[in-house]
Chains A and B, each alone.
Chain A
Amino acid sequence: MINLTINGQEHELDVPGDMPLLWALRDVVKLTGTKFGCGIAQCGACTVHLDGEATRSCVTPVASAEGKAVTTIEAMADDDVGQRVQQAWLELGVAQCGYCQGGQIMTATALLKENSNPDGAEIRDAMNGNLCRCGTYNRIEAAVARAAGMEDKS
């Protein structure tokens, strides 16, 4: 049995310890906001926060997440920074198909929690691991900057 704390809730999962957190979230806990894109830490679609740190859940064995706080895109609406990021995303119409955007928002939120006012180069550096096949990068960059600006105002 694997014990996980996901978005503040305790879960007991009957899965092998080597199952990637991604598949435990999607297939077992049925939280599908975390996406599968590559399975080899190349695309960022599966990004979650482990104790606040942006983490590729596709290469994170579920056993190694025990005892840590797992946070997924489903919880971002309840997070101050996450909320601002979501708002900026909507205002700038970032998403096209949307499939990558949960992962993008998770990475962006982790960045802003660490660095509340990143410059363009810092944003590009932090976001470079998240692929978007629809090519929404310019709007992502603008939206991260915008979300940071919102924090300044508050």
Chain B
Amino acid sequence: MSRIGNSVMLANVSRRHFLRGLAAGSAFVMAARWGLATAADSAEVKYGAAAMPGGWVDNPNVFIRIDADGTVTITNHRAEMGQGIRTSLALVAADELGADWDRVKVEQADANQDKYGNQNTDGSRSMRHWYEPMRRAAAGARLMLEQAAADQWGVPVDEVETRVHEVVHKNSDRSLGFGELAAAARELEVPDRDQLTLKPDSQLRYIGRETGLVNGDLTNRDTRPPAIDGEDVVTGKARFGADVQMDNMLYAVIARPPVLGATIKSVDDSATLGVRGVVKTITLEGTGMPAAFSPLGGVAVVAENTWAAIKGRDALEIEWNMEPAGDNARYTSNDYRQMLEERAESAGKVVRESGDIEKALKEANKTVTATYYMPHMAQAPMEPPVAIVQFNGDTAEAWAPVQHPRATRQGVAGALGLDLEKVTVHQTLLGGGFGRKSKPDFVIEAARLASQFKGRPVRVQWTREDDIHHAYFHAVSVDRLEAALDSDGKATGWLHRTLSPSIGSLFAEDPKHKADFELGMGFNTMPFDIPAIRLENPEAAAHTRIGWFRAVYNLPHAWAIQSFAAEMAEAAGRDHRDYLLELLGEPRKINPSEFKDGWNYGENPEVYPIDIGRMRAVVERATREANWDNKDRGERRGLGLAMHHSFVSYTAIVMDVEVDDAGEVIIHRADIAFDCGRAVNPERVRSQMEGACVMGIGIALQSEVSFRDGKAEQDNFDRYLIPRMENAPREVHVHLVDGGEDAPMGGVGEPGLPPVAPALCNAIYAATGKRIRRLPVADQLG
């Protein structure tokens, strides 16, 4: 039996643990995921990756394969949706392994939580949860290569070391390439975790290194490791979900009930069946409420190509029964907003309180009050939902661009009455996700249709109209804030009421209040150092499907709080930056539980406190880079600032904005200061910040889905507006802030987004004196 190392001590006692990671009991994990459990519910509280269903895995044999020709194949098990995780996680492994990037390939894992650990790609978690397991997996593989070389040379393993793609004997000039060692290394036992030594930072070649475009300059141009999918993307070869081609495939589009909960009264498909290429129509039952990840039902048109299916759908005559939709059929978002605004005038469920807010408001020298509104939005990833499923009787295969492979596999298995093991879900590239593709409803639709065409792959294609009309919408939100200022303008009281439907309504009877994890997104974690604070969450019912949208409830919370801080500074006659720093108070670390937040993005509050010092640092950096002290930028032009802490990272943005006479907003420059702890692949961190900035501009200026009588009023990019190039800042500068030695790794994909809209609206105020309290800005400046 081959073994690794020279002593019996290396017998692999913890191998079982190595394979399974630290998967926790799933009931608790689900509860924790939803913020429904507190520490007291479980004897052993788990955090981070260990608290996720399936936990983490760091077995080298799961993630790393080396072939005789030296090719290193790294398996990526997270969804690639533009954040660059296929490149970044592979770089982590390659660096620790000592692999030459030019000889690294990345393979995409199928859905298999038991094998790979958690694959649910949301919450800006991929890097912070997988950085360490990946390094350990690669360090284990490296040790196996080193042992194989030592065995071959008959020398102790501590006499050998790994250089780039080869192992060398330090005392002689012998060397063996990874490929030459691969077969022998594969036979070795996986080393025990405590035998691993990770490379010191000084030996890292890829991790943390600035490459590529840094604020306009190309850095380390010739040594930048190319993005894994870069070449395929620019040549049109990259395979997204939409691009999967199968022999004998059927193409379907579905006419879904226009209102959530409505059902079919009657269908006339005679014209449809006359359309060339249409094969069949199939009526799909909706699964009722709560909607969860279930299909909405409707009438599917199955055809020989997409165009025939679309034309066939246009020809359907369907009468819908609105009765089962109940209140949803009367949902008009404008009325709903007014109702929430009225309700915001009265007290609601208190979620955090300190000091005496009544007294503070009564004794105030001045009070400031404002109510803010953020509308529904659709994620609208550039690739609309699409999925292919083939049902073979006792097995099924799916190909789909999904953020949550596990839920997809479960959904397909459930729809086809198969055991989980009988279903294979192939993860494709995602043409954007933003939370939409966390929900596998569209794959389940394909599975249901496939069950009627045994042996034939069936593709369900969503059109853009489907995508926007039937989104899992970002919740509308009304936030009312009231502050007490003393005679020096100093804040003495803060009363914030937040009202929006909860994502909980998607899965259970409508809770009508935000769950812990929703409040924990910047509402009860509001960091200001004010003597009297009361935070309330009055009721708000859901009337459509509410779901995650990149950064989720951080969006309205940050927009309201950071707009209001600027209004307070104005009322106090103070500079906004100085006032914001004063509101934040002295640098200090706060346990989120002090703020009644038991969630903390799933992270250990000891490791991830709310760090006021890091908040101050990003504010100071962004304002300095933007030359805040020289605020006067001329007529109808001004600077706006906002800061927000989310996904355990810290972001501040300053925008330099001009509003022309026609009311058009021109963004001259954005300075983004971002602290996510160690930036593993700074180049992709910068690109995420740039992209979030653009998306946030759309949230501020353009994007709204409104409802009338239960129906979304927008359904394509002609009326659901998202940013175009003309809306982007002329310049974006991203400044990565060093959070300090003990700064733990934070999220990247989402935390750039929340402060964009308030920074932009604050800049619009500086430019025009017009205070925006209702999004989007649209024609409010005209």
Contact = CB atoms under 8 A, between A and B. Distances in A.
Interface of A: 15-16, 19-20, 23-24, 26-28, 30-40, 42-43, 45, 72-74, 76-77, 86, 89-93, 95-102, 105, 120, 124, 127-142
B91 to A, nearest CB: 13
B582 interface: no
Given A40-B718, A93-B230, 10 more contacts: A27-B305, A30-B245, A35-B382, A39-B716, A95-B82, A96-B84, A97-B383, A102-B233, A124-B725, A139-B213
A98 B429 contact: yes
B692 interface: yes
Interface in B707-729: 716-718, 722-726, 728-729
Contacts of B717: 38, 40, 42-43, 131
A135 B432 contact: no
Contacts of B216: 142
B664 to A, nearest CB: 13
Given A42-B716, A42-B717, A90-B234, A97 B687 contact: no
Nearest to A45: B382
21 contacts: A24-B307, A27-B307, A33-B236, A38-B717, A39-B716, A74-B235, A77-B235, A90-B227, A91-B218, A93-B687, A95-B82, A96-B432, A97-B381, A97-B433, A98-B238, A131-B382, A133-B381, A133-B432, A133-B434, A137-B723, A138-B731
Interface in B657-711: 683-684, 687-688, 690-695
Contacts of A20: 307
B560 interface: no
B235 A35 contact: no
B723 A97 contact: no
6 pairs of A and B residues whose beta carbons are closest in the complex: A33-B236, A135-B694, A99-B431, A97-B82, A96-B82, A73-B236
A28 B429 contact: no
Nearest to B732: A138
Contact of A96 (B276, B691, B716): B691
Which of A76, A95, A137 has the most C-beta atoms of chain B within 10 angstroms of its own C-beta?
A137
Contacts of A86: 234-235
Contact of B245 (A32, A95, A138, A141): A32
Contacts of B695: 133-135
Nearest to A76: B235
Nearest to A87: B234
A38 B464 contact: yes
B725 A93 contact: no
Contacts of A101: 233-234
Contact of B464 (A37, A95, A129): A37
Contacts of B232: 98
Interface string B234-258: 1111111011010000010000000
A127 B695 CA distance: 17
A9 B242 CA distance: 24
Given A136-B690, A139-B213, A97 B382 contact: yes
Interface string B384-428: 100000000000000000000000000000000000000000000
B382 A99 contact: yes
B158 interface: no
B498 interface: no
Nearest to A40: B716
A39 B466 CA distance: 12
Given A32-B243, A136-B690, A131 B234 contact: no
Given A23-B306, A86-B235, A90-B231, A35 B383 contact: yes
Contacts of B74: none
Contacts of B234: 76, 86, 89-90, 95, 101-102, 105
Given A27-B305, A139-B687, A95 B243 contact: no
Given A42-B717, A90-B231, A124-B726, A132 B382 contact: yes
B156 interface: no
A85 to B, nearest CB: 8
B229 interface: yes
Given A30-B245, A76-B235, A97-B430, A90 B728 contact: no
Given A38-B716, A93-B687, A135-B694, A98 B82 contact: yes
Given A37-B464, A138-B732, A139-B687, A133 B235 contact: no
A93 B716 contact: no
A101 B692 CA distance: 17
B30 to A, nearest CB: 29
A74 B243 CA distance: 13
A7 B682 CA distance: 38
A35 B242 contact: yes
Contact of B722 (A39, A77, A133, A138): A133
Nearest to A85: B234
B75 interface: no
B212 interface: yes
A16 B730 CA distance: 45
B654 to A, nearest CB: 16
A141 B66 CA distance: 40
A37 B728 CA distance: 20
B427 to A, nearest CB: 14
B429 A97 contact: yes
B226 A90 contact: yes
Contact of A135 (B81, B431, B691, B718): B691
B690 A138 contact: yes
B310 to A, nearest CB: 8
B233 A95 contact: yes
B431 A95 contact: no
Contacts of B688: 96
Contacts of A34: 236
Interface string B336-367: 00000000000000000000000000000000
A27 B382 contact: no
A16 to B, nearest CB: 6
B113 interface: no
B382 A19 contact: no
A139 B227 CA distance: 15
B263 interface: no
B464 A33 contact: no
A43 B724 CA distance: 9
B288 to A, nearest CB: 30
Given A133-B381, A142-B213, A95 B230 contact: yes
Contacts of A131: 382, 717, 722, 724
B306 A27 contact: yes
B175 interface: no
A89 B236 CA distance: 13
Nearest to B232: A98
A138 B693 CA distance: 11
Contacts of B730: 120
